[in-house]
Amino acid sequence: MSQQRRQFLQRTGILAAGIVAGLCKPLLALAATWNKDAFGAKTVADALKGLGAMGAVPSTAIVIEAPQIAENGAVVPVEVTSNLPGTTSMAVLVEKNPFPLAGKFDFREGALPYAKLNVKMGETADLRVIAWAGGKTFVATKEVKVTIGGCGG
Protein backbone atom coordinates (compact mmCIF):
# COMPACT_ATOMS: atom_id res chain seq x y z
CA MET A 1 0.00 0.00 0.00
CA SER A 2 1.39 3.41 -0.94
CA GLN A 3 2.01 6.08 1.66
CA GLN A 4 -0.55 8.37 0.01
CA ARG A 5 -3.28 5.77 0.08
CA ARG A 6 -2.57 5.04 3.75
CA GLN A 7 -2.84 8.71 4.64
CA PHE A 8 -5.99 9.06 2.65
CA LEU A 9 -7.57 6.14 4.45
CA GLN A 10 -6.52 7.47 7.84
CA ARG A 11 -7.96 10.88 7.11
CA THR A 12 -11.26 9.60 5.80
CA GLY A 13 -11.49 7.34 8.85
CA ILE A 14 -11.11 10.30 11.17
CA LEU A 15 -13.56 12.31 9.13
CA ALA A 16 -16.14 9.51 9.22
CA ALA A 17 -15.75 9.15 12.98
CA GLY A 18 -16.27 12.87 13.32
CA ILE A 19 -19.42 12.79 11.23
CA VAL A 20 -20.83 9.89 13.24
CA ALA A 21 -20.02 11.61 16.53
CA GLY A 22 -21.58 14.82 15.28
CA LEU A 23 -24.71 13.04 14.17
CA CYS A 24 -25.06 11.03 17.33
CA LYS A 25 -24.89 13.96 19.68
CA PRO A 26 -28.22 15.59 18.87
CA LEU A 27 -29.90 12.16 18.89
CA LEU A 28 -28.62 11.45 22.38
CA ALA A 29 -29.72 14.85 23.56
CA LEU A 30 -33.22 14.11 22.30
CA ALA A 31 -33.53 10.78 24.07
CA ALA A 32 -35.26 11.21 27.39
CA THR A 33 -34.62 8.86 30.29
CA TRP A 34 -36.24 5.44 30.25
CA ASN A 35 -35.48 3.00 33.05
CA LYS A 36 -34.39 -0.01 30.99
CA ASP A 37 -33.73 -2.21 34.03
CA ALA A 38 -37.19 -1.71 35.49
CA PHE A 39 -39.12 -1.81 32.20
CA GLY A 40 -37.16 -4.79 30.87
CA ALA A 41 -37.77 -6.82 34.03
CA LYS A 42 -39.86 -9.96 33.56
CA THR A 43 -40.84 -10.37 37.20
CA VAL A 44 -42.43 -7.97 39.66
CA ALA A 45 -39.48 -8.44 42.03
CA ASP A 46 -36.95 -7.44 39.35
CA ALA A 47 -39.09 -4.48 38.27
CA LEU A 48 -39.28 -3.26 41.86
CA LYS A 49 -35.53 -3.69 42.17
CA GLY A 50 -35.06 -1.61 39.00
CA LEU A 51 -37.30 1.07 40.44
CA GLY A 52 -35.56 0.98 43.81
CA ALA A 53 -38.86 0.16 45.52
CA MET A 54 -38.19 -3.19 47.16
CA GLY A 55 -39.21 -2.37 50.70
CA ALA A 56 -42.43 -0.50 49.90
CA VAL A 57 -44.80 -0.17 52.85
CA PRO A 58 -48.51 -0.96 52.25
CA SER A 59 -50.61 2.19 52.33
CA THR A 60 -54.33 2.91 52.08
CA ALA A 61 -53.49 6.46 51.00
CA ILE A 62 -52.91 5.19 47.48
CA VAL A 63 -56.22 4.94 45.67
CA ILE A 64 -56.54 2.64 42.65
CA GLU A 65 -59.67 2.92 40.54
CA ALA A 66 -60.04 0.01 38.13
CA PRO A 67 -62.84 -2.32 37.13
CA GLN A 68 -63.27 -5.50 39.22
CA ILE A 69 -63.91 -7.40 36.03
CA ALA A 70 -62.40 -6.29 32.74
CA GLU A 71 -64.07 -7.88 29.74
CA ASN A 72 -61.35 -6.75 27.38
CA GLY A 73 -57.81 -7.09 28.66
CA ALA A 74 -56.51 -4.92 25.81
CA VAL A 75 -57.97 -1.78 27.40
CA VAL A 76 -58.24 -1.74 31.17
CA PRO A 77 -58.78 1.76 32.57
CA VAL A 78 -56.68 2.48 35.64
CA GLU A 79 -56.86 5.66 37.69
CA VAL A 80 -54.30 6.21 40.44
CA THR A 81 -54.24 8.91 43.12
CA SER A 82 -51.85 9.34 46.00
CA ASN A 83 -53.08 11.06 49.16
CA LEU A 84 -49.63 10.76 50.71
CA PRO A 85 -48.18 14.22 51.38
CA GLY A 86 -45.15 15.02 49.26
CA THR A 87 -45.73 12.35 46.62
CA THR A 88 -43.14 12.79 43.88
CA SER A 89 -43.68 9.70 41.71
CA MET A 90 -46.02 6.80 41.12
CA ALA A 91 -45.58 3.55 39.17
CA VAL A 92 -48.17 1.11 37.85
CA LEU A 93 -47.37 -2.60 37.55
CA VAL A 94 -49.50 -5.45 36.19
CA GLU A 95 -48.34 -8.51 38.10
CA LYS A 96 -48.76 -11.31 35.56
CA ASN A 97 -47.82 -9.44 32.39
CA PRO A 98 -44.67 -10.59 30.52
CA PHE A 99 -43.14 -7.23 31.48
CA PRO A 100 -44.97 -6.09 34.63
CA LEU A 101 -44.07 -2.39 34.70
CA ALA A 102 -46.60 -0.38 32.66
CA GLY A 103 -45.66 3.16 33.57
CA LYS A 104 -43.90 5.50 35.94
CA PHE A 105 -45.01 9.06 36.50
CA ASP A 106 -42.84 11.80 37.97
CA PHE A 107 -44.83 14.71 39.33
CA ARG A 108 -43.04 18.04 39.47
CA GLU A 109 -44.15 21.17 41.27
CA GLY A 110 -47.52 22.18 39.86
CA ALA A 111 -48.86 18.68 39.22
CA LEU A 112 -51.16 16.62 41.42
CA PRO A 113 -50.11 13.00 42.15
CA TYR A 114 -52.77 11.62 39.85
CA ALA A 115 -52.75 9.72 36.56
CA LYS A 116 -55.25 7.88 34.45
CA LEU A 117 -54.24 5.49 31.72
CA ASN A 118 -55.36 2.34 29.91
CA VAL A 119 -53.24 -0.76 30.29
CA LYS A 120 -53.14 -4.19 28.68
CA MET A 121 -53.60 -7.20 30.94
CA GLY A 122 -52.76 -10.71 29.76
CA GLU A 123 -54.84 -12.43 32.43
CA THR A 124 -56.50 -11.92 35.81
CA ALA A 125 -53.89 -10.28 38.03
CA ASP A 126 -53.17 -7.75 40.72
CA LEU A 127 -52.43 -4.17 39.81
CA ARG A 128 -49.64 -2.92 42.01
CA VAL A 129 -49.15 0.81 42.46
CA ILE A 130 -46.00 2.24 44.02
CA ALA A 131 -45.81 5.79 45.36
CA TRP A 132 -42.69 7.70 46.35
CA ALA A 133 -43.26 10.24 49.12
CA GLY A 134 -40.86 11.87 51.54
CA GLY A 135 -38.00 9.61 50.46
CA LYS A 136 -39.98 6.44 51.21
CA THR A 137 -41.90 4.01 49.01
CA PHE A 138 -45.45 2.85 49.54
CA VAL A 139 -47.58 0.24 47.79
CA ALA A 140 -51.22 -0.68 47.19
CA THR A 141 -52.75 -3.49 45.13
CA LYS A 142 -56.06 -4.22 43.49
CA GLU A 143 -57.15 -7.36 41.67
CA VAL A 144 -58.69 -7.11 38.20
CA LYS A 145 -60.37 -10.17 36.72
CA VAL A 146 -59.80 -10.38 32.98
CA THR A 147 -62.22 -12.22 30.70
CA ILE A 148 -60.26 -11.91 27.43
CA GLY A 149 -56.50 -11.28 27.64
CA GLY A 150 -55.05 -8.32 25.81
CA CYS A 151 -51.47 -9.10 24.95
CA GLY A 152 -52.14 -10.40 21.45
CA GLY A 153 -51.27 -13.92 20.49
Partner 1 sequence: MAAGPMRMRATQGAGFTDVRVLMTHPMETGQRKDADGKIVPLHFIQNVTVKLNGKVVVEAETSQAVSRNPVFSFRIKGGAKGDKIEVSWLDNKGESTSIESAVA
Q: Is 15 helix (H, G, I), strand (E, B) or coil?
A: helix
CB of 1 or CB of 32, closer to partner 1: 32
DSSP state of 109: T
CB of 85 or CB of 110, closer to partner 1: 110
CB of 1 or CB of 98, closer to partner 1: 98
Instruction: Out of 118, 134, 143, 148, name the contact with partner 1 by CB under 8 A.
Output: 118
Length, in residues, of the chain: 153
Footprint (CB under 8 A) of partner 1, residues 25-84? 27, 30-35, 39, 74-76, 79
Instruction: Identify which of 64, 59, 43, 58 has the alpha carbon closest to the alpha carbon of residue 117.
Output: 64
Residues 119-148, one symbol each (x = binds partner 1 by CB under 8 A, - = not), give: xx----------------------------
Rounded distance, CA 4 to CA 8, Å?
A: 6
Contact yes or no for 97/151 (Cβ under 8 A): yes
CB of residue 131 to partner 1, shortest distance in Å: 14
CB of 5 or CB of 34, closer to partner 1: 34
Question: What is the DSSP secondary-structure string of 18-48?
Answer: HHHHHHHHHHHHHPPP--HHHHT-SSHHHHH
Rounded distance, CA 116 to CA 114, Å?
A: 7
Instruction: Out of 56, 87, 104, 133, name the contact with partner 1 by CB under 8 A.
Output: 104
Report the interface residues with partner 1, using CB under 8 A: 27, 30-35, 39, 74-76, 79, 94, 97-112, 114-120, 150-153
